[in-house]
């Protein structure tokens, strides 16, 4: 009886509150004054304010942190929204942060103060590099969090910080690994105040979204100027990235790259996003190329050239289809290094991650171990138990796609190839870049590609591209929809290699994860 009255009371209370909530909205819409609701609203405000004044100083006594009322309100709302998203089985990776930003625009700077953060930005390799740094952090026993979902704009980063703070704004974890979009660097870095900033490389990517590549470069440069104490980890082989370290920059710089001695030979690439000097517009001379415009560049006119490296791959011992073994030089000496991930571009990701780990005070044995046992997820060389073993390699721009194709062209056993192309805003609506990616490298190995599937919103364009690249049209199957595609793949017995664009990867991955197991994208 007692319980029943309790339930009834709660139910009537809830109904009452809901009724008020609806009334407020009707009143707002109709433009009537809120007089009869005022006492209620006052009561709520007083209660919140009393809680803020009494408990927050008590809870934050140890850190002497002073947090404004609007920040507490923003945290409360952000956490609530996220909880609702998860209740509805949605990611809620960025939306709660967007609301919090509206209430308290500088919330991130309040929350990031006591967290030692590594920020990773650049066109390609951000996610892989972040996962490698995470692996080193976890191996070192650091308590950290990361924005693993790929929500790498201000809103997504803020959501992650809020979820890893208490209601009173105290950080729950000491370290963070944050992937940051290039265009967002300008606004994010100032509030994030990272201890180290990694720039992976700069390529032409989604022109319709970023505009000129110099625009992206300026955004990162403006961001770096707001954190004069951060250690910069820069790719010495990328002439665009290198130009971030201008003379008047007070930041310490760690340079990483692949040295000439590694002889990671690559033909002078037809595809170059930076063939001319960023300072004087003369054409660069190259001592060697690694891929795209990366390599030993120098300007014959003004003398701008590749910087000497602190962290570098100096010799390649073995490049396998599952892992790579190299000699790696650090300020501590030169040693063999095993990277548990194939493909040449992952050597750059590993070098970037090592320089960041070094900047964060992680011991050599720790990051060596981390890279040897590393396995990447979320569409970056991710492995699924589908068909005869499936690997998914995200390809979102010409440079990244050409690198993935280079890797595929070295596969020695027969396999099935899947290429998926979408043109939604997260992929870039201009798909002309597929004509810049070197699908031609597949033609000489066409007899090893037993079946070819194309899918996605622009599957027909892809089919045409593959046909022009010299792949037999009779073997190309167009399949619309990720469900049907996975149905077809389930019948395959050979290994499968999938090259999807970003949103195609999300769609396809969720179907595969649903059928074969794996984690949701926000986990
Ligand atoms: Zn020059």
Q: Tens digit of pLDDT for each residue in 35-54? A: 566 666 766 777 777 777 76
The DSSP secondary-structure symbol of 309 reads P
234 Cα–ligand 1 center, Å: 19
Domain assignment present for 45 = yes
Q: Among the three residues 71, 102, 133, which one is the final residue of a domain in this structure?
A: 102
Residue 287 tokens, joined? 């001592």
CATH of the domain at 151: 3.40.1190.10
Neighbours of 405 (CB within 10 A): 23
Å from CA of 311 to ligand 1 middle: 25
CA of 289 to the centre of ligand 1 (A): 18
Calpha distance 296→287 (Å, rounded): 5
pLDDT confidence tier of residue 3, bands split at 50, 70 and 90: low
Domain end (from 51, 71, 102): 102
- Ligand 1 center from residue 302 Cα (angstroms): 4
Say how many Å lie between the CA of residue 435 and the centre of ligand 1.
Answer: 30
* Averaged pLDDT, 70-83: 92
Percent of all residues in the chain with a pLDDT value above 70, rounded to a whole number:
85
CA of 277 to the centre of ligand 1 (A): 5
Distance 241 CA to ligand 1 centre (A): 15
Rounded Cα distance, 346 and 394, in Å: 13
Cα 453 from Cα 415, distance rounded (Å): 12
**In the structure encoding, which two tokens stand for residue 355, read together?**
């320089």
Q: How far is the centre of ligand 1, averaged over its atoms, from the C-alpha of 322 (Å)?
A: 40
**Domain count of the chain?**
3
> Nearest Cα to 418, choosing from 353, 507, 294?
507
Measured in Å, residue 261 CA sits from the centre of ligand 1 at 25
Integer angstrom CA distances of residue 366 from 140, 258, 268, 277: 6, 22, 36, 39
Q: Is residue 199 part of a domain?
A: yes
Q: Is residue 120 within 8 Å of 129, Cβ to Cβ? A: yes
- The confidence score (pLDDT) of residue 19 equals 65
Residue 253 phi, psi (nearest 5): -125, 135
3-state helix, strand, coil in the chain (%, to 5): 45, 20, 35
Q: State the virtual CA torsion across 495, 500, 506, 509 in degrees, nearest 10.
A: -10
pLDDT at 326: 94
For residue 523, tell me if it sits in a domain: no
Judge contact between 192 and 157, C-beta under 8 A.
yes
For residue range 149-192, what is the model confidence (pLDDT) as tens digits? 888 999 999 999 999 999 888 999 999 999 999 999 999 999 99
Report pLDDT digits (tens) over 120-133: 999 989 999 999 99
**Which comes out higher in pLDDT, residue 275 or 265?**
275
Give DSSP secondary structure letters for 399-430. HHHHHHHHHHHT--S-EEEEEE---STTT-S-
If asked whether residues 152 and 93 sit together in one domain, one would say no
Q: Are residues 26 and 44 in the same domain?
A: yes
Closest by Cα among 355, 409, 337, 413 to 120: 355
Q: Using the predicted structure, report yes or no on whether residue 242 has a pLDDT greater than 70.
A: yes
Q: Tell me the pLDDT tens digit for each residue of 357-389.
A: 999 999 999 999 999 988 776 778 888 888 888
pLDDT of residue 18: 65
Both tokens of 444, joined, read 């000489």
Helix then strand count (H, E) for the chain reads 17, 17
pLDDT tens-digit readout, 490-513: 999 999 999 999 899 999 998 998
Task: Say if residue 2's pLDDT is above 60.
Answer: no
Note the pLDDT tens digit of each residue in 384-418. Answer: 888 888 999 998 888 889 888 988 988 888 999 99
Segment (H or E) for 5? helix 2-30
Claim to verify: residue 362 and residue 274 sit in the same structural domain: yes
The Cα 425–Cα 431 span in angstroms is 11
Looking up residue 392, the CATH number of its domain turns out to be: 3.90.190.20
My answer on whether 462 and 432 are in the same domain is yes
Is there a single domain that holds both residue 352 and residue 229? Answer: yes
521 domain-assigned: no
Taking residues 277-306, report their average pLDDT: 91
In-domain check, residue 193: yes
Give pLDDT tens digits for 89-114. 888 889 999 999 999 999 999 999 99
Give, as one character, the DSSP assignment of residue 165: B
Say if residue 159 is in the same domain as residue 265.
yes
Q: Which two tokens stand for residue 178?
A: 């944050």
Q: How far is the CA of 276 from the centre of ligand 1 (A)?
A: 8
Cβ neighbours for 341, distance < 8 A, ≥ 6 positions apart: 128, 323, 324, 349, 350, 374, 375, 376, 381
The dihedrals phi and psi of 87, each to the nearest 5 degrees, come to -65, -35
As a three-state string, the secondary structure of 242-287 is HCCCCCCCCCCEEEEEECHHHCCCCCCCCCCCCCECCCCCCECEEE
Tokens standing for 492? 């395959």
Where do we find the tokens 């920059």? 249
- Both 117 and 202 in one domain: the answer is yes
**77 vs 480: CA distance, rounded Å:** 40
Closest CA to 357 of 118, 116, 114: 118
Neighbour count for residue 495 (Cβ, 10 Å): 18
How far apart are the C-alpha atoms of 427 and 43, rounded to whole Å? 48
Q: What is the spatial distance between Cα 162 and Cα 144, in angstroms, rounded to a whole number?
A: 14
Flag whether 88 is in a domain. Answer: yes
CA 244 / ligand 1 centre spacing (Å):
15
Tens of pLDDT, residue by residue over 443-474, are 999 999 999 999 999 999 999 999 999 999 99
User: What's the chain's Rg over C-alpha atoms?
Assistant: 26
At 519 the pLDDT is: 62
Q: Is residue 254 part of a domain?
A: yes
What spacing in Å lies between the alpha carbon of 284 and ligand 1's midpoint? 8
Place of tokens 């660097």: 185
Question: In this prediction, what percent of the chain has a pLDDT beyond 90?
Answer: 58
Domain that holds residue 511: 380-516
Reported in sequence order, the residue ranges of 169-322 that DSSP labels E, i.e. its strands, are: 175-179, 196-199, 231-235, 253-258, 285-291, 294-298, 311-319
Q: Are residues 228 and 304 in the same domain?
A: yes
Is 522 part of a structural domain of the chain?
no
- Cα within 13 Å of Cα(496), Cβ side: 28
Residue 207 CA to ligand 1 centre (angstroms)? 25
Same domain, 98 and 113: no
Residue 248 confidence (pLDDT): 76
For residue 239, how far is the Cα from the chain centroid?
22
Q: What is the chain's mean pLDDT, rounded? A: 86
Angle (nearest 5°) at CA 483 between 478 and 486: 75
Last residue of a domain, one of 59, 76, 102: 102
Report how far ligand 1's centroid is from the alpha carbon of 123 (Å).
23
User: Which of 153, 160, 211 minimizes the C-alpha distance to 182?
Assistant: 153
Band the pLDDT of 272: cuts 50, 70, 90.
low
Residue 296 alpha carbon to ligand 1 centre in Å: 14
Q: How far, in Å, from the CA of 202 to the mean position of ligand 1?
A: 18
CA dist 32 and 35 (Å) reads 9
Q: Which two tokens stand for residue 165?
A: 């703070």
Residue 245 alpha carbon to ligand 1 centre in Å:
15
Quote the tokens at residue 160: 């992650």
Q: What is the pLDDT of residue 66?
A: 74
Neighbours of 406 (CB within 10 A): 16
What pLDDT shows up at residue 1? 45
The answer on 348 and 230 residing in a single domain is yes
Assess whether 73 and 113 both reside in one domain: no
Residues 368 and 445 in one domain: no
Tokens of residue 487, six digits: 């149905």
Q: Which two tokens stand for residue 198?
A: 């990694």
């Amino acid at each position: 009886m007692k319980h029943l009255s309790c339930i009834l009371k709660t139910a009537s209370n809830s109904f009452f509150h809901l009724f008020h909530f609806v009334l407020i909205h009707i009143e707002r819409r109709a433009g009537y004054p809120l007089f009869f609701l005022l006492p209620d609203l006052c009561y709520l405000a007083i209660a919140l304010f009393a809680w803020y004044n009494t408990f927050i100083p008590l809870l934050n006594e140890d850190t002497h942190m002073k947090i404004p009322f609007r920040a507490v309100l923003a945290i409360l709302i952000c956490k609530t929204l996220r909880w609702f998203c998860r209740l509805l089985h949605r990611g809620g990776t960025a939306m709660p942060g967007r609301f919090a930003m509206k209430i308290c625009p500088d919330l991130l700077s309040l929350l990031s103060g006591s967290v030692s953060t590594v920020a990773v930005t650049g066109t390609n390799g951000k996610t892989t590099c972040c996962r490698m740094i995470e692996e080193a952090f976890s191996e070192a026993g650091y308590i950290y969090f990361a924005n693993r979902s790929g929500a790498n704009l201000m809103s997504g980063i803020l959501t992650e910080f809020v979820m890893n703070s208490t209601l009173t704004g105290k950080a729950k974890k000491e370290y963070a690994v944050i992937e940051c979009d290039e265009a967002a660097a300008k606004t994010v870095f100032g509030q994030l105040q990272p201890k180290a900033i990694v720039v992976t490389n700069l390529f032409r990517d989604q022109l319709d979204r970023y505009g000129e590549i110099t625009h992206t470069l300026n955004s990162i440069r403006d961001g770096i100027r707001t954190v004069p104490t951060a250690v910069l980890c820069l790719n010495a082989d990328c002439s665009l990235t290198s130009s971030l370290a201008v003379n008047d920059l007070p930041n310490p710089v760690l340079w990483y790259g692949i040295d000439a001695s590694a002889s990671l030979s690559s033909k002078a690439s037809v595809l170059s996003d930076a063939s001319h000097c960023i300072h004087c517009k003369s054409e660069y001379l190259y001592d060697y190329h690694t891929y795209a415009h990366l390599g030993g560049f120098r300007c014959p006119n003004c003398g701008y050239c590749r910087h000497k490296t602190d962290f570098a791959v100096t010799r390649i011992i073995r490049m396998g289809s599952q892992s790579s073994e190299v000699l790696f030089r650090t300020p501590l000496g030169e040693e063999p290094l095993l990277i548990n991930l194939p493909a040449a571009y992952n050597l750059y990701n590993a070098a970037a991650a090592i320089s960041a780990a070094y900047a964060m005070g992680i011991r050599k044995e720790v990051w060596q171990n981390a890279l040897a046992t590393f396995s990447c997820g979320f569409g970056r060389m991710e492995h699924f138990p589908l068909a005869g073993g499936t690997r998914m390699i995200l390809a979102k721009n010409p440079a990244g796609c050409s690198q993935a194709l280079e890797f595929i062209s070295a596969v020695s056993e027969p396999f099935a190839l899947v290429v998926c192309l979408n043109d939604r805003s997260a992929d870039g609506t201009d798909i002309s870049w597929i004509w810049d990616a070197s699908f031609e490298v597949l033609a000489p190995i066409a007899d090893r590609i037993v079946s070819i599937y194309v899918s996605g919103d622009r599957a027909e364009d892809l089919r045409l591209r593959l046909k022009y690249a010299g792949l037999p049209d009779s073997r190309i199957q167009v399949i619309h929809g990720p469900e049907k595609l996975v149905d077809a793949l389930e019948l395959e017995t050979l290994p499968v290699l999938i090259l999807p664009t970003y949103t195609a990867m999300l769609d396809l991955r969720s179907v595969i994860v649903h059928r074969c197991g794996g984690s949701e994208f926000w986990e």
